[in-house]
């Protein structure tokens, strides 16, 4: 059930992180965003850290460290977009993350953030809104189950955190 498309993988990761933030606060994702290569979530989703994803991780670290308001976050993300040479794929990832994170900075629920970000996906790749919400909820359950089965590999913190989301 893990999405294969890099944009949909990123959307899933942002959604799951946003659910953690909504439930447990910003510091609950600190380990994931400060060391994405070791993050159980990113490993589980098989997300390869590209230059574009590293910029997304930078934005997440900024959010965790400083909790900028939406205009400041928008300014930061626009600056990142303008001053980094990225592949077209990384540009799309950054755009999706930018929309999601700006919606989150406005304190919209994770489902609404995902819907805003869904609109950045190309029409041919864009899932139906209801299907996306259903898929994200199923993915959340699947990740929680995976953590429970591999607690030693994935860490008890993530297991406990996602268990609370059920």
Task: Provide DSSP, 80-92.
Answer: HHHTS---HHHHH
Among 6-10, 75-79, 84-88, 162-166, the least confident range: 162-166
Instruction: Please state the domain extents for the chain.
Output: 6-159
Q: pTM to 2 decimals?
A: 0.81
H or E segment at 74? helix 70-82
* Cα separation, 36 vs 14, whole angstroms: 12
pLDDT at 137: 86
Q: Is the pLDDT of residue 127 over 90?
A: no
Cα–Cα distances in angstroms (integers) from residue 65 to residues 35, 61, 62, 68, 100, in the given order: 14, 6, 5, 9, 18
How far is it between the farthest Cα atoms of the chain? 43
Cα–Cα distances in angstroms (integers) from residue 18 to residues 29, 32, 104, 165, in the given order: 9, 12, 8, 11
Summarised one tens digit per residue, pLDDT across range 66-110 is 888 999 999 999 999 899 898 888 898 899 999 999 999 999 999
């Amino acid at each position: 059930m893990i999405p294969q498309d890099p944009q949909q993988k990123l959307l899933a990761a942002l959604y799951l992180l946003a659910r953690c933030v909504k439930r447990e606060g910003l510091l609950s994702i600190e380990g994931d965003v400060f060391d994405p290569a070791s993050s159980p979530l990113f490993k589980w989703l098989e997300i390869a850290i590209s230059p574009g994803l590293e910029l997304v991780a930078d934005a997440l670290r900024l959010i965790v460290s400083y909790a900028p308001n939406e205009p400041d976050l928008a300014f930061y993300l626009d600056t990142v977009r303008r001053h980094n040479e990225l592949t077209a794929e990384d540009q799309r990832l950054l755009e999706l993350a930018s929309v999601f994170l700006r919606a989150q900075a406005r304190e919209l629920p994770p489902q609404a953030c995902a819907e805003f970000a869904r609109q950045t996906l190309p029409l041919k790749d864009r899932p139906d809104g209801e299907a996306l919400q259903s898929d994200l909820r199923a993915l959340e359950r699947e990740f929680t189950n995976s953590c429970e089965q591999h607690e030693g590999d994935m860490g008890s913190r993530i297991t406990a955190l996602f268990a609370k989301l059920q």
